[in-house]
Amino acid sequence: MPSARNYHNVKRGYWNGKWYDSSWELALLVYFHDHNMELTRNTKEFKYFFGRSKRPQWYRPDFILEDGTYVEIKGIKDRRSMAKMSQFPFPIQMWGAREMKPYLDYMKQQYGDDWADKF
Tell me how far apart the terminal alpha carbons of the chain are, to the nearest angstrom: 11
- Would you list the DSSP string of 72-90? EE-S---HHHHHHHHH-SS
Give tens-digit pLDDT for 5-56. Answer: 444 567 899 999 999 999 999 999 999 999 999 999 999 999 999 999 899 9
Residue extents of the structural domains in the chain: 4-118
Instruction: State pLDDT tens for residues 49-74.
Output: 999 989 999 999 999 999 999 999 99
> What is the pTM for the complete model shown?
0.86
